[in-house]
Amino acid sequence: MKKAFEFLKQLEKNNTREWFTQHKSEYDTVVKENKVFFTKIYNELQEYDQLKGIHIFRIYRDVRFSKDPTPYKNNFGVGYSRSKPMLRGGYYIHLEPGNSFVGGGFWAPDTQDLLRIRKEFELNTSEIEKITSDPTFIRYFEEIKGDGVKTAPRGFDKDHPAIDLIRKKQFVVMRKFTDKEVFSDHFQKEILLTLLAMRPFFDYMSEVLTTDLNGESLF
């Protein structure tokens, strides 16, 4: 990780195609080592979950519609997807000097899934409150995060006791890591523990998204 972070720090200072081309061999070495690291975590997580894929994000930015003209990201990221349709939620690892984190959840649920989640919380929040009040969940993630609408979604009461959950458009959790923690010998183990700590949240949301409001299976 020290080698990867040193490359990213230099890239942040020299985010041009010319510099990147000159240091392409360094980049290729880091990417190869990252792939080994990310694959090890995938294989470990696969022992506890059913995953259907690993997606290592490219460092190249799409600048066509961006105000930021820099051609490269200053981070390395990987996502692990679960086996749909029965298992929902996605895992994510983000490595960036001063801004590393492990997260996961439901970043952009489609319209149907979002409505189903909101309807569930409108009906009953006892299960999600039990999950988010668990000491392990609080220690790792503190709370469910994510953007939301300003008031109440159409068709929902703005005075509903669970309106803070109902307003959300995203349902994600995140644990940040310092650079010192990233460089430690225990980082890989801590990543796995963090990903596994998401499982009660993922399992509950999977149950919600694979049943109707009466608890009948949709599949």
pLDDT of res. 65: 81
b (16+ CB within 10 A) / e for 53-69: ebebeebeeeeeeeeee
Q: What percentage of the chain carries pLDDT values higher than 70?
A: 100
pLDDT in tens, 179-206: 999 999 999 999 999 999 999 999 999 9
pLDDT in tens, 30-89: 999 999 999 999 999 999 999 999 999 999 998 888 888 999 999 999 999 999 999 999
**What is the pTM for the complete model shown?**
0.94
Q: Cα–Cα distance between 151 and 189 in angstroms, integer?
A: 40
pLDDT of res. 66: 83
85 prior amide bond cis, ω within 30: yes
pLDDT of res. 164: 96
pLDDT in tens, 99-148: 999 999 999 999 999 999 999 999 999 999 999 999 999 999 999 999 99
CATH number of 1-82+89-210: 3.30.930
pLDDT of res. 83: 96
pLDDT of res. 207: 97
CA angle 155, 157, 161 (to 5 degrees): 140
Q: How confident is the model at residue 176 (pLDDT cuts 50, 70, 90)?
A: very high
**Closest to 73 (Cα-Cα) out of 94, 42, 55, 101:** 94
Domain ranges of the chain: 1-82+89-210
**Closest to 200 (Cα-Cα) out of 173, 179, 167, 166:** 173
pLDDT in tens, 204-219: 999 999 999 999 999 9
